[in-house]
Amino acid sequence: MTMTEISLDALLGRVQELLSYDSTSPLIFNSGVFLFLFVGFVTGYLLLRRANSLRLLYVIAFSLYFYYKSSGLYFLLLVGVSVSDYLIGHAIAGSQDQRLKRRLVALSAIINLAMLGYFKYTNFFIEMANGLFGAGFLDFKNIFLPVGISFFVFQSMSYTIDIYRGAIRPLSRWSDFLFYLSFFPQLVAGPIVRAKDFIPQIRKPLIVTREMFGRGICFIIAGLIKKAIISDYISLNFVDRIFDEPALYSGFECLMGIYGYALQIYCDFSGYSDMAIGIALLLGFRFPKNFDAPYKSATITEFWRRWHISLSSWLRDYLYISLGGNRKGKVRTYINLLLTMLLGGLWHGAAVRFVLWGALHGVALAIHKMWMSIAPWAKADGRDMNFVVRLLGGIFTFNLVCLGWLLFRAEDMQTVHLMLYQIANNFNSAIIPQFIEGYKAVVGLIVIGYAMHFIPEKIDSDIQCKVAGASFWWQVAMLTATVWCVMQIKSSDIQPFIYFQF
Q: Are 146 and 184 in contact (CB under 8 A)?
A: no
Does the active-site annotation cover 348?
A: yes
Residue 71: count of CB within 10 angstroms of its CB: 23
Catalytic position from the list 90, 308, 348, 368: 348
Q: Are 479 and 221 in contact (CB under 8 A)?
A: yes
Residue 25, CB half-sphere, CA atoms under 13 Å: how many?
12
Amino acid found at 413: M
Sign of the torsion angle spanned by Cα atoms 156, 162, 163, 167:
negative
List % helix, strand, coil for the chain (3-state, nearest 5): 75, 0, 25
Residue 140: count of CB within 10 angstroms of its CB: 14
Q: Which of 372, 402, 400, 374 is nearest to 384 (CA)?
A: 372
Distance CA 501, CA 409 (A): 13
**DSSP label at residue 457:** H
Distance CA 405, CA 393 (A): 18
Q: Are 352 and 121 in contact (CB under 8 A)?
A: no
With 0-12 / 13-18 / 19 or more C-beta atoms within 10 angstroms meaning exposed / middle / buried, residue 402 is middle
Residue 339: count of CB within 10 angstroms of its CB: 15
Taking the CA atoms of residue 480, residue 486, residue 487 and residue 493 in that order, the dihedral angle to the nearest 10 degrees is -140
**DSSP label at residue 292:** -
Residue 26 makes CB contacts below 8 A (sequence gap 6+) with 69, 70, 71, 147, 496, 500
H or E segment and range at residue 57: helix 52-71
Residue 143: count of CB within 10 angstroms of its CB: 13
The residues that are catalytic are 348
